[in-house]
Chains A and B, each alone.
Chain A
Amino acid sequence: MANVTARPAPLSRAGAGRFTRQERLAYTMLAPVLGTILVIVTYPFLLAVLQSLQDSAGREFVGPSNYVNALANPLLYEALGATGTYAALVMPTEILLGLGLALLVHRTVRSSSVRALLFVLATIPLVLPPIAVGVIARLIYAPGYGVLNYLLIGAGIVRDEINWLGQPATAMPAVASVDVWQWTPFVYLVLFSGLLTVPREEIEAAQVDGASGWQQFWHIELNYLRPLLLLIVFFRLADVLRVFDHVFVLTGGGPGNTTQLLSLYLYRIEFKYFDSGQAAALAVLVLVGVSIAYSLVTRALPVERR
């Protein structure tokens, strides 16, 4: 949101006489729409700043104490740690699996109809509501009725039920596995379409030179995939900060605080502990932090801005 306020308003630049008829029409269309959106987007942010400087009842100003409390709360750092662990689990896994799969399909599947079918199948997980995916994960991991324990015991792999969601050591991987299930296909799709942009001549030339499959990947294909990998990293990082739904229904942040990601932590401060001053302070900190991070990486984002 901080970004929003930083953008110059289109009309402030020059006198109306300098515009062509088309420009005038364009700005008459844009100004009211963008103006309204600007207000709708900025006003809550200002309200949050206000709220973050008041006590929780919203009656008196308390200065920066909400910020001090928010930053002094050890649970914040546990939440940041959990978010980091989550990112460290899901991002490399998704990228490696997605990349491996894209290469495998690209090199073994030649039939275009099979490729098209795989494309369609891979988009399915992306559109499933995370809440429903969370329900599935519950039916798999839950104590007592989870089918995973049943299958593992039936196959003789383990003897006693494993309490997947109840132990710190397994709860985070269980929660992360849901993310991997849902988002590896995204990595696959992006990278597979990247592989299709590699010119055939370059590959063929390399093969004539006797390059191995690995060299072919490392020296040629990776160059074409690099901007896409960057894109995946940015988008998935942003998504890790949004993760809420499936963790909410799977563990609710537990056991203890092991899966309490930043988003669940913020939810808990506002809607469980009802400390709206501290919650607003956290929201402002997160928005400012994300805006700064965004403005630092935005140039590197490989999107077409024309």
Chain B
Amino acid sequence: MRRAQWAPALVVAALLISACQPSTTGGGGAQKPAKLTIAAVQGNEDAALKAVAPLYEQKTGIKIEIVEFPYDQLFEKLVTTFKANSPTYDLVMMDDPWMPKFGTDESLQPLDSTYGIKRDSDIPDVVYDVGTWPPPRGPVPPKAKGKAAHLIGVTIVGNVEMFMYRSDMGPAPKTWDEVKANADKNKKANFWGYVVRGKATNPIVADFLPILWSFGGDVFDSNWNVTIDNAASLKAVKFLVQDLKAAAPPGSESIDAADRSRLMAIGQAYQSTVWPGEITEIVENSTVSQVKGKVSYIPMPAGPSGKGIGMMGNWLLGVPKASSNGQAAADFITWLTSSDTQKTYVDKGGIPARKSILNDASLNQKNPYFAALAKSLEAVPNWRPRTDQWNAVETILGTNLNAALAGLATPEDAVKKAADQIRTLMKGAGY
């Protein structure tokens, strides 16, 4: 009788075990897996990846499963999964400022020494450099000093931050001063001279760094000393939160990329910075845009230093060490970045890094920003500081800049507060 009482529990246990059998069975590295799982960012960055993935299945029989996360969460999810040492992802899509964290934590498989992936001369060196750890130039974090450099990620989205303006209404600005002048000149009721992408943390920092660099400022010097509160940096902050804000729509402090390109697309804005993805997806998309063909794309305007400095925003693919399908995953990277696949990839709205494609005249007709992107890559854009602390630095800087933009703090107070917090953080992290 007593045994009978346990019968329901046994039934449930059996059900549990049978119903929840994981649908993937991790094969050995050499075997051909049934599928590869990719963690990707949701949005226009992975649209082309989703579009070409079925072709790979047709060719090899390996199914590509793409799991999407919103930008903010992808990074957290990747770190968490790496921490859990879970083999759930065979490939991960990463924004380039995350590479230092994954490099430092040694979460990724070296692609060069383990799988023999080599540089291709058709792709600019800076694109490979951004996926190499430790970084081949610029300051190296203390923990990474003296380690052998390896390629741990290969770019699949050749993003560089650029500039867009309404070329039907005026000429291209050569300097940030001209940007400001054009903004004031063109601002009118329900039409904004400049859109600041001012949402706290990542967005405002991405909008601000090209201005900061063009003004001769920086977050760190070559020895990791914080320089965000020096005179040149403060000037750049003031330019953003005072001069440009004067011509920007209200609520700048919560505007993100989607709002910015929507304002542009519905014909309510003159100019702004722009990522390539917004161009194909929104501004040049005739189903939603009223300004298709009226907008031009150029590399970042120059600052007082006389030089305009673009910012890398590449998305890379890497293979987590925990994946049990490493070789197959690396083969997919090779296939995806090959010259042949890239043609289809671009056709589906993908953003290439190959010079031969970016400079192709017929492709430029369809993608009016290719020439500007090629130029931006050629000029060797800056990347965000190569420190595993970048996410925390970005949060601090972005929160304080956002406060200054919202008028909750003066530019002076904001940079001082940010600089103090970043110094404490970096000191605690051993820099």
Q: Which residues A237-255 have CB closer than 8 A to chain B?
A: 252, 254-255
Contact with A along B237-263 (1 / 0, CB 8 A): 000000000000011011100010010
Would you call A167 and B250 a contact (CB within 8 A)?
Answer: no
A160 to B189, CA, bound (A): 12
- Residue numbers in A under 8 Å from B200 (CB-CB): 254-256
Contact residue among A29, A161, A273 (Cβ-Cβ distance under 8 Å from B251) = A161
What's the nearest-Cβ distance from chain B to residue A1, in Å?
Answer: 22
A271 to B79, CA, bound (A): 8
Assuming A255-B253, A256-B399, A274-B79, is B406 touching A167 (CB within 8 A)? yes
What's the nearest-Cβ distance from chain A to residue B77, in Å?
Answer: 9
State the main secondary structure of chain B at its contact with A: helix
- Residue numbers in A under 8 Å from B2 (CB-CB): 25, 28
- Residue numbers in A under 8 Å from B5 (CB-CB): 29
For the A-B complex, the count of residue pairs with Cβ-Cβ distances under 8 Å equals: 44
- Residue numbers in B under 8 Å from A273 (CB-CB): 392
- Residue numbers in B under 8 Å from A25 (CB-CB): 2
Contact residue among B76, B251, B262, B392 (Cβ-Cβ distance under 8 Å from A166) = B251
- Residue numbers in A under 8 Å from B403 (CB-CB): 256
Contact with A along B391-410 (1 / 0, CB 8 A): 11000000100110010100
Residue on B nearest A168 in the bound complex, by CB = B408
Q: Which residues A104-152 have CB closer than 8 A to chain B?
A: 143-144
Contact with A along B67-99 (1 / 0, CB 8 A): 000001000100110010000000000000000
- Residue numbers in B under 8 Å from A252 (CB-CB): 72
Would you call A163 and B399 a contact (CB within 8 A)?
Answer: no
What's the nearest-Cβ distance from chain A to residue B259, in Å?
Answer: 5
- Residue numbers in B under 8 Å from A306 (CB-CB): none
A172 to B250, CA, bound (A): 20
Q: Which residues A247-306 have CB closer than 8 A to chain B?
A: 252, 254-256, 271-274, 276
Q: Which residues A165-191 have CB closer than 8 A to chain B?
A: 165-168
Q: How many residues of B contact A (CB 8 A)?
A: 22
Assuming A255-B402, A256-B399, is B80 touching A166 (CB within 8 A)? no
- Residue numbers in A under 8 Å from B76 (CB-CB): 271-272
Residue on A nearest B6 in the bound complex, by CB = A32
- Residue numbers in B under 8 Å from A160 (CB-CB): 250
A143 to B79, CA, bound (A): 31
- Residue numbers in B under 8 Å from A163 (CB-CB): 250-251, 253-254
A272 to B77, CA, bound (A): 9
Would you call B402 and A161 a contact (CB within 8 A)?
Answer: no
What's the nearest-Cβ distance from chain A to residue B83, in Å?
Answer: 7
What's the nearest-Cβ distance from chain B to residue A139, in Å?
Answer: 15
What's the nearest-Cβ distance from chain A to residue B47, in Å?
Answer: 22
Spell out A's residues near B (CB within 8 Å).
25, 28-29, 143-144, 160-161, 163, 165-168, 252, 254-256, 271-274, 276
Spell out B's residues near A (CB within 8 Å).
2, 5, 72, 76, 79-80, 83, 200, 250-251, 253-255, 259, 262, 391-392, 399, 402-403, 406, 408
What would be 27 A-B contacts, judged by CB atoms less than 8 Å apart? A25-B2, A28-B2, A29-B5, A143-B251, A143-B255, A144-B262, A160-B250, A161-B251, A163-B250, A163-B253, A163-B254, A165-B254, A166-B251, A166-B253, A166-B254, A166-B406, A167-B406, A252-B72, A255-B253, A255-B402, A255-B406, A256-B200, A256-B408, A271-B76, A271-B80, A272-B391, A274-B83
